[in-house]
């Protein structure tokens, strides 16, 4: 059977060659399809298992964090704010008081019947219910301070006074009345004595200049 053995050996060798050829072809195909190490895809991909590094963040210093970037927005200190307030505040105006009338500027004058009548008319305009009245005799003070005239007197009822006038004069007649004269307004009623009358008479009346009250001797009441 030498012919059969030779045929089998030939078939085995042929199969080995065929198998080797297939393996070479498969290897070549696999090698050609794999990307090379220098290809863009291989160079762009990051190594497996490596996390991308985050960009470093600069931490501001303590002085930069607490201080505003713009110097114009800084809050001034208490001392500097006080200095600005003190510098900008305007001083309070000084109050100037008018000097009181000098004693030599106030003088006592002799009263005329015309002045008495004008003063009585001023009183009647202020108190219309008193028609029948006149100044109490020996109880009329008249004087002037500069260009302003002053008068002080008490009033009493005259004949023909009504019962209402007589009753009203019981109180009004015991109080001294004060008047002022100016060239623009004539005689006008100022005020009356308080009840009770002040211990210093007309010197306790603010509307009468103190210097004139002194000239009048504080307007004593006639007994």
- Tens-digit pLDDT profile for residues 7-24: 444 554 455 544 444 444
The CA distances from residue 170 to 57, 135, 154, 164, 173, in Å, are 103, 14, 12, 10, 6
Ranges assigned E (strand) in the chain: 106-108, 133-145, 148-157, 177-182, 186-192
CA 173/CA 116 separation, integer angstroms: 16
Name the H helices within 34-112. Answer: 40-44, 62-66, 78-88
190 or 102, greater pLDDT: 190
Name the percent of the chain lying above pLDDT 90: 46
Residue 148's pLDDT is 97
Name the H helices within 34-162. Answer: 40-44, 62-66, 78-88, 113-126
34 pLDDT more than 90:
no
- Tens-digit pLDDT profile for residues 58-77: 444 444 444 444 444 444 44
CA 64/CA 101 separation, integer angstroms: 71
Please report which confidence band the pLDDT of residue 108 belongs to, taking 50, 70 and 90 as the band edges.
very high
- Tens-digit pLDDT profile for residues 175-197: 999 999 999 999 999 999 988 88
Residue 103's pLDDT is 55
Task: Mention every residue, 6+ apart, whose C-beta is less than 8 A from residue 101.
Answer: 145, 146, 209, 210, 211, 212
Please report which confidence band the pLDDT of residue 101 belongs to, taking 50, 70 and 90 as the band edges.
low
Task: Give me the residue spans of the domains in the chain.
Answer: 103-215
Ranges assigned E (strand) in 26-160: 106-108, 133-145, 148-157
142 pLDDT more than 90:
yes
Element (H, E) at 24: helix 2-33
- Tens-digit pLDDT profile for residues 84-95: 344 444 444 443
Q: Nearest CA to 146 among 193, 94, 103?
A: 103
């Amino acid at each position: 059977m030498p012919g059969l053995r030779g045929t089998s050996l030939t078939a085995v060798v042929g199969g080995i060659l065929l198998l080797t050829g297939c393996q070479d072809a498969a290897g070549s195909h696999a090698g050609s399809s794999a990307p090379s190490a220098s290809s863009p895809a291989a160079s762009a991909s990051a190594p497996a298992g490596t996390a991308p590094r985050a960009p470093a963040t600069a931490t501001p210093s303590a002085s930069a964090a607490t201080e505003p970037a713009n110097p114009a927005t800084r809050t001034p200190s208490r001392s500097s704010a006080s200095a600005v307030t003190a510098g900008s505040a305007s001083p309070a105006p000084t109050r100037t008081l008018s000097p009181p009338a000098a004693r030599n500027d106030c003088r006592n004058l002799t009263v005329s019947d015309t002045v008495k009548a004008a003063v009585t008319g001023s009183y009647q305009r202020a108190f219309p219910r008193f028609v029948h009245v006149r100044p109490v005799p020996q109880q009329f003070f008249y004087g002037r301070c500069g260009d302003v005239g002053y008068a002080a007197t008490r009033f009493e009822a005259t004949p023909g006074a009504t019962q209402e006038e007589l009753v009203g004069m019981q109180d009004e007649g015991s109080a001294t009345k004060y008047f002022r004269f100016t060239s623009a307004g004539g005689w006008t009623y100022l005020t009356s004595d308080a009840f009770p009358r002040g211990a210093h008479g007309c010197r306790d009346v603010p509307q009468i200049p103190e210097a004139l009250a002194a000239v009048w001797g504080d307007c004593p009441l006639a007994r």
